[in-house]
Structure 1
Amino acid sequence: MANNFADLFEHSVDAMPDRVALIQGDRRTTYRELDIRANRLAGRLAEIGVRRGTHVGFQMHNSIETMETLIACFKLAAVPININYRYEPTELAYVYDNADLDVLVYHATYADAVGAALALTPTVRRSICVDDDLLDAPAPDAIPYESLLAAGKPFRPAVQRTGDDLFMMYTGGTTGMPKGVMWRQEDMWRVLGGGVDFYSGEPVRDEFQQSETGAQAVPSIWFVLPPLIHAAAMMPTFTALWSGNAVMFEPRFDPVRVWRAVAAQRPHVMVITGDAMARPLIDAFDAEPVDASSLLVIASGAALLSQPVKNALLEKFPSTMVSDSIGSSETGFGGIGFAQKDDNPARGPRVQTGRGAVVVDADGRVVAPGDEGWLAKTGAVPLGYYKDPERTARLFKTVDGARIVVTDDRARAESDGSITLIGRGNMVINTGGEKVFPEEVEAVVKSHDHVYDAVVVGVPHERWGQQVAAVISASPGRSVDFDALRVHIRSHLAGYKVPKRIWVVESISRSPSGKPDYRWAKEYVAGRAADHAAD
């Protein structure tokens, strides 16, 4: 079994070549057409020196060309490196250098930032510029993508590929510098690509089962909204393609355009990331309702949905299943939960575990039901962090002969086999000896009707060491009654968990994957007086 991403894709091409694979606006490409263009690109990349193990950066928003680039790299057993297009030149230069990029493929709209970053990292040997509908910018020092691809041959490259070929995902997390998480492709396929059934937990028979089953089924359309530079979008996209379905893209997250596309294209699955996408989608739908009856599933990954958002989705789309998944670049899929109305917002997200997700103690051993510990993953786990053996040794361990990755997430093992997430250990607020997890407080703050979004951080305090503080944005057309908000929070949480300092902002800064930007929040509160303070 090869189990390289390109092999799995080619199996689908061979089984159903004339099916639509990708949809972007008015553009459609079939599996055969996508395969041929990826072959052309792979051949030309090989001519400029891309081969097994070569690191090829892709600084691209969602598009058909982005998928062509990824598939072409996997066909050569090269390693595509996701580059966050929101980064500034100095941040880009850090990732280019840390990831040892040899070649960079980027959309024209990022040309200025790319040029400034490349000036700081001369080790990037070649750059390839893709025209896009956002900006048709000249790129005199880059190879034009279409010209490069047009000269390529339509045949599949003769490269021996294996399940050991490297998959790498750069993740910034919530703190610290971006870091590359290294996986064997077969392991990533097993935990996040359908190599193990998401619901039954059973491994598929072989590398052909997904495409064979897909060829016999009626294809569905998956509308993937998160950016492909994150695993929360890339892996659902590949999962859909490996099983014979079509994937829809928008180059930017625009809620109004999203709903218009839903009405026009009638997708069956919508992939989102938490409240950061769900709330604007709800607002846009309220302002301009469309026929969304085609949606069978709204699936959130990478960032969990708050209870008020779950309630709203279930009310507006009663025939649609709403799911919430946990996972990360370090763990892959960890478990899935299905939204229910009016759960206690202070309870914490609860998921049914999947594919080796467990709660362990400080020694890496599984805790008893009812006990708290660290969320961990057994079975198929990453190889480690790229060029960071110290951090690799800290998180990736061998316990009783089994390899395990222990995350920074605190969790509780429940008696029914599920796991309740408590919060990230590296973000814990220590106030007077009591530990407060920001996520727990955020969930309750966001459950108030007048609060649209919130991020919770710790601020220095002379007596208590730290105090709980919140940065919030108000719901449209609402103002925040701080006293009423504190009463609401106190009805769910202990007094020491209630934010003592509150700042109100126009909008909360989040990453493209929807995760809170805690560094931004800490910098914001450090430079100004709170809008509300209480001791």
Structure 2
Amino acid sequence: MREHYDAFTQQAANNVALSPLSFLERTATIFPDRLAVIYNDRKYAWGNVYERVKRVASSLRAKGIGIGDTVSVMAANTPELFELHYAVPMTGAVLNTINIRLEPETVAYILDHSDAKLVIADTAFANVIGESFELNGNDLPVVNIVDRDGPGGEPIGTMTYENLVDDGDPAFAWQGPEDEWQAIALNYTSGTSGRPKGVVYHHRGAYLMSMGTPIAWELPRHPVYLYTVPMFHCNGWCHAWAMTLTAGTIICIRQVTGKAVFDLIAEHGVTHLGGAPIVLSMLVNTPEPDRTALKNPVKVMTAGAPPPAAVLAATKALGFEVMQVYGLTETYGHVSQCLWREEWDDLTSDEQAELQSWQGVGFPMTETIDVIDRDTGVSVPSDGETQGEIVVRGNTVMKGYYKNPEATEEALAGGVFRSGDAAVRHPSGYIQIRDRLKDVIISGGENISSVEVEGVLHRHPDVVLAAVVALPDERWGEVPCAFVELKEDSQATEDSLIAFCKEQMAGFKRPKKIVFTELPKTATGKIQKFVLRQEARTIASKTS
């Protein structure tokens, strides 16, 4: 009877808060001498990593870092950033990884909005941090990551990351989170507004994402993973935790180039890597002398704007086995995958590549991924034609937006996360994105707010009106394209406006194409962006 089943209580013996941090102790205990991280000539075994992490966590705790504090990190994919995925949350604090391509103004906003208590930064980004402090009037303590293989940079202050390691206690004992809903990470992402929103992850979601990834990607024990995904983006798709679970070997790469990727695959026997479609294009377009033939297939997870079928086919010809996935910062990264089906085996390579570009079906840890009618909330028919909005429900949906209850309520309305992406569902059940409901441009895996770019263009004294949409691009997937109305007798040119934007924002955000024209408007004066999107597609088709 039910009362007998309900008579039990949760106790310490049978209820432990889920956290991906538990993977590190397990792997370090079982495989202490197996290589965990390789970065150029630096190599750390899992036992080394675990001790270093505990030392750093101990030092951070001694500096007053504790539960609910934000520690902001601006660093490239080096061993330090991997270790901080464990050391910061071990103190109970929240890891805030900052996009290293951002300009000082946005970094200043993030440091202020996130309530950062400490900044850990690679000296290569010291100038950006310093300028952001000046903009904010901040004087936060800074710990410098000094990478002898990096481009250098003048440290801020005297404390270094290795000081944290040297001064820390190797016997530091992590007690686990207070509960699994406790925040573990804070990631900022551009939405439809110019200001980025802070997406909050919890320990439970990070744990389940890390458990679901090996199943979906069919990861073996001890994979050799080349970390081409920026660890600042969705915590590197949570692969820092997933690769620890599988006791893999992580190869860090600071500057991703085709030659570097091929060289590292050959040197270390890389089995897996991840990246935006631009990484695939980069591999395909790597000059023949810079390529090394693959001895074994390398499995690639790619996400972002769907890669062109031609790129997928060319990548496969090089020996890479690509799986397209879909997700957002708000969902810890990937929540659906284009799972290969046996009936596709006999199709032509072009047909296979087209199917591989679909967003597919839910990951194992995803409870629901659906395409619904935005007005009725009812699932669209699986006819491959009827468009609706992708919605997600599950444990890998964010807690919400930091200090933004209104946006949180809107995003999670109806008991699902509303992605803002328009898609169809095919008879096979596979989802395929057809358009973007949000005006976000995904360029090389990076989200760019059209509103932010428009705001910069409107600062130019000759610009009357500007609208920015996505321009399809073979290399980047999408790039910003601006349609601009100028003042009468203006002498501004496409090159001069792009140069103006270059001074105002990060390079990847500035428009790559500017068209001078009268913007199409509705009767009420609203810009008809769907007309501009069609024009952008026409421009792309003429230049391809």
| TM bin (shorter chain) | 0.7 to 0.9
Residue in 2 aligned with 1:127?
142
Give a deviation string over 1:449-477, Cα, whole Å, max 9, x none. Answer: xx88654757479xxxxxxxxxxxxxxxx
Q: 1:264 to 1:278 in 2, by over 3 A?
A: same
2:34 aligned to 11, 14, 19, which one? 19
Residue in 2 aligned with 1:183?
201
1:231 corresponds to 2:237:
no
Q: Which amino acid aligns with 2:302?
A: S
Q: Which amino acid aligns with 1:415?
A: P
Please say if residues 270 and 295 of structure 1, whose CA atoms lie closer than 8 Å, have aligned partners that are also in contact: no
Q: Partners in 2 of 1:377 and 1:345 — Cα distance?
A: 26
State which drifts further: 68-77 or 137-146. 137-146
2:180 aligned to 163, 178, 186, which one? 163
* Deviation of the 1:123 alpha carbon: 5.0
1:149 aligned to 162, 165, 170, which one? 165
The TM-score with structure 2 as length reference comes to 0.74
Q: Partners in 1 of 2:82 and 2:71 — Cα distance?
A: 13
Residue in 2 aligned with 1:480?
none
2:406 aligned to 384, 390, 409, which one? 390
Give a deviation string over 1:224-274, Cα, whole Å, max 9, x none. Answer: 202110127251232111111111111111221221111111111121211
* Deviation of the 1:316 alpha carbon: 1.9
Structure 2 counterparts to residues 75-474 of structure 1, below 5 A: 75-123=90-138, 125-132=140-147, 133-161=149-177, 162-166=179-183, 167-173=185-191, 176-190=194-208, 192-195=209-212, 198-199=215-216, 218-231=221-234, 233-274=236-277, 276-284=278-286, 286-317=288-319, 320-331=320-331, 332-337=333-338, 341-343=349-351, 349-354=357-362, 355=366, 356-362=368-374, 363-370=376-383, 371-380=386-395, 381-397=397-413, 399=414, 403-427=415-439, 442=472, 446=474, 455=479, 457=481, 459=483
Q: 1:300 to 1:392 in 2, by over 3 A?
A: same
Q: 1:76 to 1:293 in 2, by over 3 A?
A: same
Q: Which amino acid aligns with 1:96?
A: L
Q: Partners in 1 of 2:512 and 2:286 — Cα distance?
A: 30
Q: 1:454 to 1:286 in 2, by over 3 A?
A: farther
Please say if residues 105 and 128 of structure 1, whose CA atoms lie closer than 8 Å, have aligned partners that are also in contact: yes
Q: 1:458 to 1:353 in 2, by over 3 A?
A: farther
* Deviation of the 1:361 alpha carbon: 1.9
Q: Partners in 2 of 1:184 and 1:262 — Cα distance?
A: 33
The TM-score with structure 1 as length reference comes to 0.75
Q: Partners in 2 of 1:453 and 1:287 — Cα distance?
A: 26
Q: 1:337 to 1:229 in 2, by over 3 A?
A: same
Please say if residues 20 and 206 of structure 2, whose CA atoms lie closer than 8 Å, have aligned partners that are also in contact: no
* Deviation of the 1:438 alpha carbon: 7.1
Q: Which amino acid aligns with 1:353?
A: V
Please say if residues 3 and 189 of structure 1, whose CA atoms lie closer than 8 Å, have aligned partners that are also in contact: yes
SS in 1 for 2:21: helix
Q: Partners in 1 of 2:371 and 2:482 — Cα distance?
A: 26
Q: Which amino acid aligns with 1:230?
A: H
Q: Which amino acid aligns with 1:520?
A: R
Q: 1:456 to 1:64 in 2, by over 3 A?
A: closer
Q: Partners in 1 of 2:272 and 2:217 — Cα distance?
A: 19
Unaligned 5+ segments in structure 1 are 202-213, 430-436, 462-500, 510-515
Q: 1:146 to 1:243 in 2, by over 3 A?
A: same
Q: 1:165 to 1:142 in 2, by over 3 A?
A: farther
SS in 1 for 2:238: helix
Please say if residues 259 and 291 of structure 2, whose CA atoms lie closer than 8 Å, have aligned partners that are also in contact: no
Q: Partners in 2 of 1:50 and 1:148 — Cα distance?
A: 13
* Deviation of the 1:137 alpha carbon: 3.3
Residue in 2 aligned with 1:10?
25
State which drifts further: 71-80 or 136-145. 136-145
SS in 2 for 1:117: helix
Residue in 1 aligned with 2:450?
none
Q: Partners in 1 of 2:289 and 2:238 — Cα distance?
A: 32
Q: Which amino acid aligns with 2:511?
A: A
Q: Which amino acid aligns with 1:296?
A: V
Q: Partners in 2 of 1:84 and 1:147 — Cα distance?
A: 24
2:57 aligned to 34, 39, 42, which one? 42
Q: Partners in 1 of 2:428 and 2:174 — Cα distance?
A: 50
Q: 1:303 to 1:71 in 2, by over 3 A?
A: farther
* Deviation of the 1:287 alpha carbon: 3.7
SS in 2 for 1:29: strand
Residue in 1 aligned with 2:6?
none
SS in 1 for 2:251: strand
Q: Partners in 1 of 2:53 and 2:289 — Cα distance?
A: 40
Q: Partners in 2 of 1:452 and 1:43 — Cα distance?
A: 42
Please say if residues 20 and 210 of structure 2, whose CA atoms lie closer than 8 Å, have aligned partners that are also in contact: no
* Deviation of the 1:348 alpha carbon: 10
Please say if residues 483 and 517 of structure 2, whose CA atoms lie closer than 8 Å, have aligned partners that are also in contact: no
Give a deviation string over 1:272-313, Cα, whole Å, max 9, x none. Answer: 211x22112222253422132234312212343211110111
Please say if residues 283 and 315 of structure 2, whose CA atoms lie closer than 8 Å, have aligned partners that are also in contact: no
Q: Partners in 1 of 2:49 and 2:128 — Cα distance?
A: 29
* Deviation of the 1:344 alpha carbon: 9.5
Q: Partners in 2 of 1:348 and 1:245 — Cα distance?
A: 26
Please say if residues 57 and 82 of structure 1, whose CA atoms lie closer than 8 Å, have aligned partners that are also in contact: yes
Q: 1:286 to 1:367 in 2, by over 3 A?
A: same
SS in 2 for 1:103: strand
Please say if residues 273 and 304 of structure 1, whose CA atoms lie closer than 8 Å, have aligned partners that are also in contact: no
Q: Which amino acid aligns with 1:298?
A: V
Please say if residues 109 and 137 of structure 1, whose CA atoms lie closer than 8 Å, have aligned partners that are also in contact: yes
Q: Which amino acid aligns with 1:385?
A: Y
Q: 1:124 to 1:389 in 2, by over 3 A?
A: farther
1:28 aligned to 38, 43, 68, which one? 43
Q: Which amino acid aligns with 1:43?
A: S
Q: Which amino acid aligns with 1:352?
A: G
* Deviation of the 1:173 alpha carbon: 4.9
Q: Which amino acid aligns with 1:69?
A: L
